[in-house]
Amino acid sequence: MPKESNNPDYIFKDLFKNKELIIDLLKNIIDKDWVRDIDFDTLELLLAKWLPLKFLKILKKI
């Protein structure tokens, strides 16, 4: 297993680069009112070297 796979940034970046998976997650698992307002046709991959700690904390709450 690559060393970077233990890094949460690597794991989340790998997960979130799959648009269909994210759409499915939001529509079928998150089930919040704000999900219905998302225009899934406008989703784009954002290339970043790291994820802010604030973002990781938000993900833990979902």
**6 or 32: which leads in pLDDT:** 32
pLDDT in tens, 13-41: 777 788 899 899 899 998 889 999 999 99
Domain around 38:
3-61
Q: How many structural domains is the chain composed of?
A: 1
User: Is pLDDT above 70 for 1?
Assistant: no
The CA distances from residue 25 to 3, 15, 16, 32, 36, in Å, are 27, 11, 10, 11, 13
The pLDDT, as a whole number, for residue 10 is 73
pTM higher than the cut 0.95: no
The pLDDT, as a whole number, for residue 16 is 79
